Amino acid sequence: MKGLEDLASVCREGVDKVFYGVRFIRSRPYSRIAALVFKSCGLPTITEILESKEPREVYEYLVQHGISSPGYITIYRGGSDIRPGDWVAIEYDYASEYGKVYEKRVSTDDVIWAGTYEKEFYYVPKEMRCRWKGIEDFCNDVLNDPPEEKEGGRLKWIEEHFEEYLVIKIIDAVTTIIVTYMIIRLFEPYLTQSTLAAQAAIQAMVKRI
């Protein structure tokens, strides 16, 4: 897909590795994929913030820095050029804290609040917002690979990174066990009461007989 060509090499290593990176590494390029796939739908654009005036602290911050209506603004990033999914700022000085500053002129529809600090945003072009259902869908779109090629890449990555794959599966299994245990403990009193009530009903029926 145009604008995401540099992420094709990451997706070629397999969906499982991308998932691992998004979940545990959380730095570029995986932070970009996380923003594009998982965060672009649930967070407001600058345009939406200006129109709703919410969140209030972000709205006031934007107005304080001369952004009071939708349109085109300049965004900044320190340390590397600006690509879709990147963390960006609307303040040059704030971006400069992270290295050499790069800038880009974009629409307020293409910048979403990061949901953390009022100074932090993501650059997500409008056409990429809410586009993908998950990492597999994202990589499929970026690579435009047939299913058999995608599955072959996945199996190859598992073979070459079996220990990392095993860690992912173990964490998922342990999480499932913990959640199941918590649910059982939560409903245990109700289950006990239901069992006692059932036993009492059976004893009452026996006595009538």
pLDDT digits (tens, 9 = 90+) for 62-98: 999 999 999 999 999 999 999 999 999 999 999 999 9
> Binning pLDDT at 50, 70 and 90, where does residue 42 land?
confident
Q: Assign residue 29 a region (left: φ > 0; alpha: ψ between -120 and 50; beta: otherwise).
A: alpha
87-126 pLDDT per residue, tens: 999 999 999 999 999 999 999 999 999 999 999 999 999 9
Strand partners of residue 31: none
Burial readout 74-97 (b: 16 or more C-beta within 10 A, e: otherwise) = ebbbbeeebbbbbbbbbeeebbee
Tokens 């599966």 belong to residue: 169
Burial class (CB in 10 A: 0-12, 13-18, 19+), 30: buried
169-198 pLDDT per residue, tens: 787 777 788 878 787 777 777 666 666 666
> Binning pLDDT at 50, 70 and 90, where does residue 157 land?
low
Strand partners of residue 102: 77
